[in-house]
Amino acid sequence: MSSVIILVDSVGGKVSKATAELATFGKRLGDVTAVICSSDGASLASQLNALAIDKTITCTGVDFEKLSTGAVASALSDVVAKEKPVAILIASHARGKEIAGRLAVRIESGLITDAIDLDADLIATQSVFGGSTTVHSTVTHGTPIITLRGNSIEAIAGTGPTAHEDFAVTYGGADRALVNSLAPAIKGGRPELTEASIIVSGGKGTDGNFAPVEALADALGGAVGASRAATDAGWYPHSFQVGQTGKTVSPQLYIAAGISGAIQHRAGMQTSKTIVAINKDPEAPIFDVADFGIVGDLFTVLPQVRDGVIAKKS
Ligand SMILES: Cc1cc2nc3c(=O)[nH]c(=O)nc-3n(C[C@H](O)[C@H](O)[C@H](O)COP(=O)(O)OP(=O)(O)OC[C@H]3O[C@@H](n4cnc5c(N)ncnc54)[C@H](O)[C@@H]3O)c2cc1C
């Protein structure tokens, strides 16, 4: 049976939800080999037992933490040469896309980024131009490398890998000078924005008071997002901005409170499965993309929703 490689993704030393989603896509293509390129290799390998993965390969011999994306791309290219997979799947965040780009150059293969679906014939689906256009594409040269957006698929459970291999890799460091300068994400008690199943976002309508937005997010176990108007005003950190110049998210549930729904904001959240808009202006464009709309004051509506959620839980 053909095999597909997924790059194990982690956040703060924990295997991320994206890894389970990559494995689920991978199962459509064949046996899944999960490749670990991390200084936490042993710990990550021990966290893969409930995933739809057939085999793991832990790359050893280089300090991935120090060397960053160039070393990961180099290690992956060695694994690809050995395993000859039908495809390589990588999580579609900034780091994942950087690794994918470097890998594509190294193995001279085509690359598709930000896919939201992938079928058994290796046809990837992308949602572009703010969600207004759906593109289907396939790689025609080399071993397809595809980065997949988080929350694009319901991850299936598995019985974990039945085989494990340590694979010694080397790294010449030719592209070490290009180590990226991304700032580490600000960590809090809430899920990572791009991984969250539920996001409650606040905009200019909050007038700088994100307390009801955060309170509802916490009641739902979700993440907090913000429009650019809110981040530009300094009400919420830029790392929480959703939209064209912020994060692209695709949660199961996106609640937009006091956000007008400008095209640049919609570009980052339009592929959410269910969108709920709360806005006191019934003409706000956000209602055009919303599945459910509440015309009202967010300072009245959000606490009511939160109370309802808490009452339902108890
Ligand atoms: C190149 C470029 C890139 C951009 N990138 C992004 C991006 O990544 N993300 C992004 O979000 N924007 C982006 N923008 C900005 C975007 O065009 C909008 O200006 C921005 O999204 C507006 O934010 P907002 O909806 O919070 O504010 P507004 O458009 O001012 O809307 C506020 C809304 O809140 C409602 N409201 C007010 N008070 C209440 C209340 N008490 N209760 C309920 N509703 C209330 C109002 O009716 C209004 O609809 C970009 C713009 C450009 C030019």
Whether residue 183 has pLDDT greater than 70:
no
Q: Do 41 and 155 fall within a single domain?
A: yes
Q: How many helices (H) and strands (E) does the chain have?
A: 9, 16
User: Could you tell me if 36 and 172 lie in one domain?
Assistant: yes
Parent domain of 259: 198-313
301: CATH = 3.40.50.1220
Would 10 be classed as within a structural domain? yes
Domain end call among 126, 146, 178:
178
Are residues 133 and 260 both part of a single domain?
Answer: no
Q: DSSP secondary structure string, 225-263? A: EE-HHHHHTTSS-GGGBBSTTSB----SEEEEES----H
Does 214 lie in the same domain as 165? no
| Index of the ligand 1 atom closest to the CA of residue 297 | 42
Residue 15 domain-assigned (yes or no): yes
Asked if residue 48 and residue 161 are part of one domain, the reply reads yes
Mean pLDDT across 259-284: 96
Encode pLDDT of 70-83 as tens digits. 899 999 999 999 99
Q: Is 299 in the pocket of ligand 1 (CB under 6 A)?
A: yes
Q: How far is the CA of 14 from the centre of ligand 1 (A)?
A: 34
Task: Please check whether residue 191 lies inside any domain of the structure.
Answer: no
Tokens representing 69 are: 């994306």
Q: Do 146 and 281 belong to one domain? A: no
Distance CA 299, CA 302 (A): 6
The Cα–Cα gap between 91 and 153 comes to 12
Counted residue by residue, the chain has a size of: 314
Look at residue 66 in the predicted model and tell me its pLDDT: 72
Residue closest via CA to ligand 1's atom 51 equals: 264
Q: Pick from 58, 60, 80, 76: which is nearest to 3 by CA?
A: 80
In a domain, 133, yes or no: yes
Query: What Cα–Cα distance (Å) separates residue 227 from each residue in 204, 242, 268, 273, 285?
Result: 7, 6, 10, 19, 14
Query: 187 lies in a domain?
Result: no
* 213 and 153 in a common domain: no
- Answer with the one of 149, 178, 207 that is the final residue of a domain: 178
- Write down the pLDDT at residue 295: 97
Pseudo-torsion of CA 204, 214, 297, 303, nearest 10°?
-170
CB distance 259 to ligand 1 below 6 Å = yes
Domain count, the chain: 2
Same domain, residue pair 170 and 202: no
CA distances, 56 to each of 158, 167, 209, 220, 256 (Å)? 14, 10, 46, 34, 40
pTM strictly above 0.95: no
30 and 92 share one domain: yes
Pair (22, 87) in one structural domain: yes
Q: How confident is the model at residue 178 (pLDDT cuts 50, 70, 90)?
A: low
pLDDT tier, 151 (very low <50, low <70, confident <90, very high otherwise): confident
Ligand 1 centroid to residue 258 C-alpha, Å: 8
pLDDT at 188 over 90: no
Output the pLDDT for position 198.
Answer: 95
Q: Are 251 and 196 in contact (CB under 8 A)?
A: yes
Tell me, yes or no, whether 19 and 103 share the same domain: yes
CA of 190 to the centre of ligand 1 (A): 23
Closest residue CA from atom 4 of ligand 1: 264
Residue 186 lies in a domain: no
Q: Which of 127-131, 190-194, 264-268 has the highest mean pLDDT?
A: 264-268
Instruction: Give percent of the chain above pLDDT 70.
Output: 94
Which atom of ligand 1 is least distant from the CA of 226? 11
Q: Is the CB of 205 under 6 A from ligand 1?
A: yes
> Which residues 6+ apart lie within 8 Å of 304 measured at CB?
none
Residues 85 and 52 grouped into a single domain = yes
Top mutation candidate among 199, 265, 283, 298 for ligand 1, by most atoms within 8 Å of CB: 265
User: Does residue 115 sit in helix, strand or coil?
Assistant: strand
Mean pLDDT of the chain: 91
**pLDDT at 184 > cutoff 60:** no
